Structure 1
Amino acid sequence: METIINIVGSVALLLWGIRMVRTGVTRSFGAELRRVLSLSAKNRVTGFLTGLAAAAAVQSSTATAMIVSSFAGQGLIGGVAALAIVLGADVGTTIVVQLLSFDIKWISPLFLALGVFTFLASEKARHKNLGRIALGFGLVLLALKQIVLSSAPLRETETVSLLLQPLSAEPLLAILVVALLTWFSHSSVAIVLLIATFAASQVISTQAAFVMVLGANLGGAFTAFVMTLQSPVASRRVTTGNLFMRGCGVLAALPLIPYAMPYVAMMGGDHVRAVANFHLMFNLALAVAFLPLLSLVDPLVRRLVPERPDRDDLQSPKYLDSGALESPTVALSCAARETLRMGDEVREMLQSTLQVFVTNDDTLRKEVERSDDLVDRLHEAIKLYLTSLSQQEMDAPESKRCVEILSFTTNLEHIGDIIDKNLMELAAKKIKGQTLFSTDGAREIDEFHQRIIANLDLAMSVFMSGDLNLARQLIREKSEIRHVEQRFTDNHFARIGEGRPESIASSSLHLDVLRDLKRINSHLTSVAYPILERAGELADSRLMDGKEENTDARPRPIRMQPTTK
């Protein structure tokens, strides 16, 4: 029992070490990595080499496949190029296994010390992540050493022999079991290294280890496939194609293992090196076989994963890339892009609002109300995405940006609710009662509405740029909007005092529209406050000399003119 516990603990340490290395690389170089991958789609050879380098750096073909599939889902990369990159990524992970298969475990204390001291002594996020990479690499080497030591007694344990005998006798069962373990661990590198250490300890035979390596390769492709099941069609085609090619490779390589063993032995090395070399040979053979055939594989995958407009709703989030969550900077950019899309939808709703009031178009009114459903869905998706991101370690600026995005999307969602629940309800009353605004009143509402539209555009610019001057301008506009709303309200009461029939009939509607547009503007200006606060330009209190500065609370004079009859 103690041996099993030690092995399980060592495997957990191995998985954690690999995760630390992958996390450190993606956080340090995630943006650069994604940029290189997006530019590597010129031809299949370039894509293959880029995928190889990316997976070797990240130590995960799954992570690389997720990034590429997200690009494919956004239409940034074609199917053939994406499949070439994942073929390269499959080969890239074998480089990591090759490196760790050498007897370099003795330097694990050096990497552990370097990683810890770098992480603790650094203030910059990139330096901390470099320390995390060194620490993770040290943990991987330490875990491999512990697995070798802990598994040594298993050679003479009859129970282990009984458990492994079915796997040795049934290759397909061994492939299936190892594939499931790889899917569960989300790391084919870790599973291949574990298989290699078991082979080195003679817990399993070399031939059985080769069979299990095939299972690890299949499981690695299955992991990415499962993670993109809810993604757009183009994204699923990449991971489906990868699973198809690996599945074909596994079926073709399984009966050839006995014939391949002498050639692997000719490459020299111990059992660990033999497993690593077979892993490399399999993925190289897979690349050589399929790279020229990708023009045939791509249309086949398109038939396997056809377009489904009913499932791939155009109203679903487009830019929330789950593969970017391990790189907070990139993930925040994805969330900001989706927020811009949400803002565009709110702007369209707001733009259509005036048209509904002017034309009394009930069909357009219902379309505006339905648009709020999309705004709500996008807000919920962005909120869940940022919640997942918050579980990652972020530095102070990234945490602040995360809060800013969440705050702005919440305000956009409130604006959508004001348009849907308030303004469209007022429009329905106006349509039902065939109410008309006075000529002057309609002109003032139109002018007020256009100012709110302009402030929405300004707020989106402030949100994306963080520009201090634009933030100041937005706050000045808030004060100006308050004065304009007060002036237009006074004008309306003046027209009532003059006895204008349209003003009297539309009084309640007119004032409520002005009030709701002003509320929308208040939600928009909230985006400027964090920027002004960082610049030290935000007052702690809005009270001046014991009086309230906010003129919204002041009673407004009503200038009534004598009624003429």
Structure 2
Amino acid sequence: MERSMIFGIFGGLGLFLYGMNLAGDGLKRAAGDRMRNILEVLTSTPIKGVVVGAIVTAIMQSSSATTVMLVSFVNAGLMTLRQALGVIMGANIGTTITAQLIAFNLADYALPAIGIGFLIHLVSRRRVWKSTGQVILGFGILFLGLTVMSTSVAPLRDSPAFGRAMRAFGATPILGVLIGLVTTLVVQSSAATIGMLMAVAIASPDVITLEVAIPILLGDNIGTCVTAMLSGIGANVTARRTATAHLMFNVFGAVIFLPLLKPFQWVVAAASPAAGIQRQIANAHTMFNVLNTAIWLPAAGFLERIVTWLVPGEDVVVEIGPKYLDRRMLGTPGIALDLAAAETVRMGEIVQEMLGQSRTALTEAYTSKLDSELESREELIDNLNREVVLYLSMVAQTSLNEAQSRRLAGLMHAVGDVERIGDVAEQLMFYAREKFDQNIPFSETAVQELHRVFDLAEKILARGIVALRDDDMEAVRDVYDIHRALDESTDMLRANHIQRLNEGKCIPGSGVIFVELMNSLERIGDLAVNLADAVSGKKSPRVEPRN
């Protein structure tokens, strides 16, 4: 009997967790990029953060996954700690949706749901219907696992030892908190802990009371923070503070509610007097998180100061590698592509600095310091190019919809184009060094013309980066317009410089360098057009750099 009970609990738990993961993955696939769009509406308003956190967690079926995502965003500089606090509170509310669904105890419908869900998933060709079938299948397996666990633990209701243990938990709530915390640490899922609690409650409603269940729920909420705390290891200071804030929010909530267990039990029971114990457990879970949010939302600034004190230090920005790429986001391709795009835009901004340094060296004064700084940036660009390509290759191995596949292909091209613009900036610095070493002067007219072309090159690069960053079609059109102007200018200025050479106004050495500079600046325009094409999805042959 004991062996069959243990096997039943573990087997049922395995089915429960697998079903929950399957349903959550199906919901994410059905949502597509809508979850990313939801996250994009985040502002500094904590109430909006709560709403966003609840919605995203309801979709992902995991508050831990939401918090890990937050830690990643804060680590990448895409969110502030204050923004993350509201989302954390909302995530705790969103995760109670799973418990509310479990409380319906749809055991009789588990097998039909599995059959219907599998059939829809098998025969459907459209992504949204396949994902819907996966969600139904997942919830069917979840309820089947719940049934297996409930059946397995049914003999416990006649066990005197189990009854004594439950009465001890009721008399000493801190024991219940520890049980909930440890169980969630082991199974890495607060919903699974609540599922097991409900399974026992269904089998032994006279033994599992609210007095026993609520402390376990409080410990369960604390235990779910461990995943986020682990994700904060190696992250920056603000990201670690975000993970700590999640822990503190739940710890403080438990500290506040433990002394108030009796009145809280009365409120829960009064809210659903005719409901079974499983529904009352789900309601207690929801009410605790809603009330805890209501307490701490107005005090978000105070909570921020606490975690800042607990996790001291300042973030130091060091340009040694990727800033935005986060492998923890590979399971959510839309967000992973956003991070890759942000890293590519960062590369573009660094390349803009390199182009400015080359311009200074050519038109004002070359220095070895400028040369060295540009070389360091070029090494960084080469490293970032490798990292982004590797990251995108890993994203490509996940399940992408058609729009995401097109975006990934565009980013693959864009990151290479940005890296090549960095190579052109390095080449421009080489010409500046040659000009300095050989003491080759440019006439005042040549310098003015060079400024004119640099203006166009810097402008087209800037608009190309804006197009890539904001998916801005107006910037795309600007790139095409500037490209025509740049080509016309370089053609005309080459002819002007050759004429000055023929008239003896410039020395031959400067002529060679000037013409090469025009070629290099033209290449920047060509590559910027490629960036615009990546955004617009242009089907025409790509503009390749001239040799």
TM-score of the alignment, normalized to the shorter chain, above 0.5: yes
Q: Distance in 1 between matches of 2:301 and 2:475?
A: 52
Deviation at 1:244, TM superposition (A): 0.8
Contact 1:38 1:77 in 2 (8 A): no
Q: Unaligned regions of 5+ residues in structure 2, if any?
A: none
2:105 aligns with one of 103, 106, 114 = 103
Q: Is the 8 A contact 2:42 2:52 kept in 1?
A: yes
Matched with 2:417 is 411
Q: Aligned-pair distance for 1:419? A: 2.5
**How far does the alpha carbon of each residue in 1:390-445 deviate from its partner, in whole angstroms, 9 at most, with x for none?**
3431112211211211221122123224423x333343343344332355655565
Closer/same/farther in 2, CA of residues 406 and 215 from structure 1, 3 Å limit: farther
Describe the shift of the 1:259–1:525 C-alpha distance in structure 2 as closer, same or farther (beyond 3 A). closer
What is residue 59 of structure 1 aligned with on the other side?
61
Please, what is the CA RMSD of the aligned residues? 5.2
Question: Taking structure 1 as reference, are residues 301 and 469 closer, same or farther at Cα in structure 2, changes over 3 Å only?
Answer: closer
**Is 1:431–2:406 an aligned residue pair?**
no
**335, 338, 341: which one aligns with 2:340:** 335
Normalised to the residue count of structure 1, the TM-score between the two structures is: 0.73
Q: C-alpha deviations, 1:105-163, integer Å up to 9, x for none?
A: 22234433443444445554444433333332223222222333455578999xx99xx
**Aligned with 2:224 (options 215, 220, 225):** 220
Q: 1:183 to 1:327 in 2, by over 3 A?
A: same
Query: Number of paired residues?
Result: 538
Q: CA deviation at 1:354?
A: 1.8
| Other-structure match for 1:246 | 250
Aligned counterparts of 1:358 and 1:511: Cα–Cα separation in 2: 15
* Cα deviation code 1:367-397 (max 9, x no counterpart): 3334335534654554455345334311122
* Whole-angstrom CA distance in 1 between matches of 2:417 and 2:524: 9
- Aligned partners of 1:465 and 1:46: how far apart in 2? 25
Secondary structure of 2:95's partner?
helix
Match 2:405 to one of 390, 399, 402? 399
Per-residue CA distance 1:269-320 (angstroms, 9 max, x = gap): 666446435534543453354345434323222322345132x548876665
Distance 1:433 1:317 in 2: 38
- What is the percentage of aligned positions where both structures have the same residue? 27
- Matched residue, 2:354: 349
Other-structure match for 1:93: 95
Per-residue deviation, 1:104:
0.8
- Inter-CA distance 202–128: structure 2 relative to 1 (3 Å threshold): same
Q: What are the residue-to-residue correspondences of 1:87-486 with 2, within 5 Å?
A: 87-150=89-152, 179=181, 182=184, 186-198=188-200, 200-201=202-203, 206=208, 211-231=215-235, 233-251=237-255, 267=273, 272-273=278-279, 275-280=281-286, 282-310=288-316, 312-313=317-318, 326-362=331-367, 363-376=369-382, 378-379=384-385, 382-383=388-389, 385-420=391-426, 422-438=427-443, 442=447, 445-446=450-451, 448-457=453-462, 459-460=464-465, 463=468, 465=471, 474=480, 481=487
Q: Secondary structure at the match of 2:224?
A: helix
Q: Give ranges in structure 1 of 5+ residues lacking alignment.
A: 543-549, 554-565
Match of 1:22 in 2: 24
Say whether the 8 Å CA contact 1:118–1:131 is kept in structure 2.
Answer: yes
Amino acid at match of 1:394: L
* Corresponding letter in the other structure for 2:285: H
SS at the partner of 1:309? coil
| CA deviations over 1:58-87 (Å, ceiling 9, x no partner) | 432234445656676788877566434433
Deviates more, 1:397-406 or 1:144-153: 144-153
2:508 corresponds to which of 486, 497, 503: 503
Contact 1:529 1:538 in 2 (8 A): no
Tell me by how many angstroms 1:14 deviates.
2.5
